[in-house]
Amino acid sequence: MKTRQWPIVVAILAMVLGACGGGDAATTAGGTATTDGATVTTDGGVVTTASGGGGAAGSCMGIAAEEGATIVFSGWGDETEQQVYRDSITRFNEACPGITVDYQPVPADFQTQMKAAFAGGEGPDVIYVDDQLMTALGRTGQLLPLDDFMAQAGVTREEFIPSLLTIFTLEDQTYALPKDWGTLGLIYLPEVIEAAGIEAPTGDWTWDDLRTAAQAIAANTDVGGFCQGADWARLAPWAFSHGGSFASEDATQAMLTDAGVIQAATLVADMHEEGSLVTAADVGAGWCGEAIGKKLVGMTLEGGWMVNFMNNDYPDVDWSAVSVPAGPEGKADVIFTNGIGVNAATEFPNAAAAFALFVTGRDNQAAITETGFAYPTREDQLSLITNENDLAISEGGTFDLTRVAFWGSNSGRVNDAVSKALERIFLGEQDVAAAFQQAQEEAQLALDEAA
């Protein structure tokens, strides 16, 4: 038995030694490559300017990537999204042939798995980052600041739609770059609008116009007027356009009892009370998008995901979108975004950063936008969106008052307090003032405990 184990031990030893040797070799080679790059550009040894360096081994996105680097890339996503990123990797391989990308998508429970993987020191080199992972990983030094690499690649923070970087910025350092984003628009069924005998919605509508139209639909047709659930994200455009916010800019003070939020919530509560606003469950749908597909309501607030959803599930239903209605302070929308970040413990920081920068970069964003999968993160590329409805919805990203509902590391709890307040109002448990007073206390506790 003892002798039998020897081959295994030898094999393990060989593997360990082999791995070490390989690592050393790569580092040396990488070092050589950077020297070459510097020589080519004759720029006083400044490695960073080797971007156009005529195919110097390992130079990618202006970053001197480690030669022979293999990086693991993980994100969530269904088959469509996975294909988008497999295509992105193909493009990356053409641009940077020296780096191998091992794509390992995790479709379910991504955040949980990433927290566990990073805690065990086994995190992938490049991952999707959302507000939850930014809290768990970004704030604890598990992600690599990308600013130096951005400078090398000539990417500036200013080229992105301003609020997209909110989540990923910590003490002036950028820990991830937005990979795409979404926002809400006013979705409606033209046939219902027509049946109700009203004018079709336009981008100039105010919330009062929306209310009048919803009342008309509820009165003149047998479907619901406007569909909206007890959801913080759906209240956000109402609240922001009334000059409100869920919390202060520095995420220390909850602002749920301020006039803006209360006015917006009162309007929503009144519409619910009079029956012009219904929830998806009221009309027997799982969510408001489905209620549109099933023609159970006339209007709702949903985002770009409606395009694929309607094409797949309700291809025969004719629907349209305009940007969200305006409030007394102007137009405002809420932005949802996820980014791509780099593991601080990666063996190949340069290659990993180069990949993150490439995927979120201008060229790749343009290519992804062409597929209709997501909105580009740079405002000047918004014109590349081809679908009319997507174009209308994406306008929401450009309003001055538009923002990400991010309030520091306990954002989820703050937003949840808003959803719960709306739930209590819709259920008739509390009036607006009492519900938001309670939400204010819960949100303040969450902000205090965020540390």
| Residue nearer to another protein on the CB measure, 317 or 427 | 427
Structure tokens at 2: 């003892």
| Residue nearer to another protein on the CB measure, 41 or 111 | 111
CA distance 160 to 146: 15
Cα 7 off chain centre by: 50
| Residue nearer to another protein on the CB measure, 119 or 317 | 119
Whether the Cβ atoms of residue 400 and residue 330 lie closer than 8 Å to each other: yes
Shortest Å, Cβ 381 to another protein: 29
Other beta carbons less than 10 A from residue 243's beta carbon: 18
| Residue nearer to another protein on the CB measure, 166 or 381 | 166
SS3 264: helix
Strands 224-227 and 297-303: parallel
Shortest Å, Cβ 353 to another protein: 21
With tokens 């989820």, the residue in question is 412
CA distance 321 to 190: 10
Shortest Å, Cβ 250 to another protein: 17
| Residue nearer to another protein on the CB measure, 333 or 442 | 442
Shortest Å, Cβ 111 to another protein: 7
CA atoms within 13 A on the CB side of 158: 2
Rounded to 5°, angle at Cα 293 from 290 and 296:
80
| Residue nearer to another protein on the CB measure, 350 or 410 | 410
Alpha helices in 324-387 (DSSP H): 349-359, 362-371
| Residue nearer to another protein on the CB measure, 63 or 184 | 184
Cα 128 off chain centre by: 9
Shortest Å, Cβ 276 to another protein: 20
| Residue nearer to another protein on the CB measure, 10 or 281 | 281
Shortest Å, Cβ 438 to another protein: 8
Whether the Cβ atoms of residue 129 and residue 174 lie closer than 8 Å to each other: no
Shortest Å, Cβ 160 to another protein: 22
Across 163-291, the runs of DSSP E, i.e. the strands, are 169-170, 173-174, 176-188, 224-227, 277-278
CA distance 425 to 419: 10
| Residue nearer to another protein on the CB measure, 97 or 141 | 141
| Residue nearer to another protein on the CB measure, 254 or 414 | 414
CA distance 309 to 297: 16
Shortest Å, Cβ 416 to another protein: 3
Whether the Cβ atoms of residue 67 and residue 30 lie closer than 8 Å to each other: yes
Shortest Å, Cβ 130 to another protein: 8
End-to-end CA distance of the chain: 56
| Residue nearer to another protein on the CB measure, 161 or 417 | 417
**H helix or E strand, kind and range, residue 437:** helix 432-450
Give the interface with another protein as residue ranges (CB under 8 A): 111-112, 115, 118-119, 130-132, 135-137, 140-142, 281, 284, 409-417, 420, 423-424, 427, 429-430, 438, 442, 446, 449-451
Whether the Cβ atoms of residue 251 and residue 338 lie closer than 8 Å to each other: no
Shortest Å, Cβ 449 to another protein: 7
Phi then psi dihedrals of residue 122, to 5 deg? -120, 25
Shortest Å, Cβ 424 to another protein: 7
